Structure 1
């Protein structure tokens, strides 16, 4: 559980709405904002730089709302939440409620509103290559993930040389692992990783075959996802030393949510 910094009923006059007159004439919007963070350090130091300045938050919400015109409250809330999480490094999550007291519905009501919560998520990504300049491909993959809006790469393992997996005769691999904070959903993150693979000229011709760049989501928070094109945790991570060895460098105590074992425990079991 996180502590909260809260701003209640901040009024902003802006030009959001579906109807043309809403965009032209504008109307009042009322915001309630919560920023989730750990305030213990601030409580001990009594220094503003150790916290998030709620005066700055109120000014930012006002300016952002006035300068980013959209049609729907849902879009306004989504974009504002992401902008705030990217702006305030100490924030682990945010709640945005937008009320529209002058909603042109034509019926007696106090207001229409939308409320969302968004958080940073903790993802681990395996990276590998066994074609061409392997290190250059891995470096390209890391750099490309850094450049994804809504992603922060916090840790990168050493690159390790490993034998190919799956019985296909091919060159040795260079493998690594990354820890990433992300605002993207698992599917959105997968889509971005597949885009990066394509930019590295990845071709999927042979299952477990050679590839210029391979990017896999190994874990995402403590989510368990089983869908047609996405399984989290990665279905065979506990069987693969080329995943567990670099992952153990950056997250030895990370716990598999289904097997209830740490990465170090899984690696020790695999080594036998």
Structure 2
């Protein structure tokens, strides 16, 4: 078993419960970690034998473009697509962070983490 880790994909999106969040939008960071068998790819040196991180990035960008009230909902959609589109993925860990969330306080970011397995 091995891990493919795509860190801090920066995306501008329009998520949130407040109406202005879906109008103004904000910056987000998404980190994806997937567990898969990497032994074949380590020998073959063939992209078809591993999880393509370009595909992961595409899924993140497409799902982040669909507004949601909750970060948990976005993370679930990303995870569902990872499992549906990349059969090699056995487990996933998805972190979605909202940078500078609109709240009373000096908060750098809020992050949710969703773990799933087949």
TM surpasses 0.5? yes
User: Structure with the greater relative contact order (CA < 8 A, sep ≥ 6): 1 or 2?
Assistant: 2
Corresponding position: 1:41 with 2:16:
no
User: Unpaired runs of 5+ in structure 1?
Assistant: 121-272
* Cα distance per residue 1:122-167 (max 9 Å; x no partner): xxxxxxxxxxxxxxxxxxxxxxxxxxxxxxxxxxxxxxxxxxxxxx
Corresponding position: 1:79 with 2:77:
yes
Runs of 4+ in 1 over 6 A off after TM superposition: none
Q: Name the CA distance, whole Å, in 1 between partners of 2:95 and 2:80.
A: 14
Partner of 1:4: 3
Aligned length: 118
Q: Name the CA distance, whole Å, in 1 between partners of 2:59 and 2:112.
A: 19
Q: Name the CA distance, whole Å, in 1 between partners of 2:62 and 2:94.
A: 15
Q: Name the CA distance, whole Å, in 1 between partners of 2:8 and 2:52.
A: 17
Q: Name the CA distance, whole Å, in 2 between partners of 1:12 and 1:99.
A: 10
Q: Name the CA distance, whole Å, in 2 between partners of 1:82 and 1:56.
A: 14
Q: Name the CA distance, whole Å, in 2 between partners of 1:58 and 1:43.
A: 22
- Find the residue that maps to 2:6 and give its secondary structure: strand
User: Unpaired runs of 5+ in structure 2?
Assistant: none
* Cα distance per residue 1:180-200 (max 9 Å; x no partner): xxxxxxxxxxxxxxxxxxxxx
RMSD of Structure 2 on Structure 1 (CA): 1.0
Which structure shows the bigger proportion of residues in strand conformation? 2
If the length of structure 1 is used for normalisation, what is the TM-score? 0.42
Residues 93, 114 of structure 2: 8 Å contact kept: yes
If the length of structure 2 is used for normalisation, what is the TM-score? 0.95
TM-aligned CA deviation for residue 102 of structure 1: 2.0
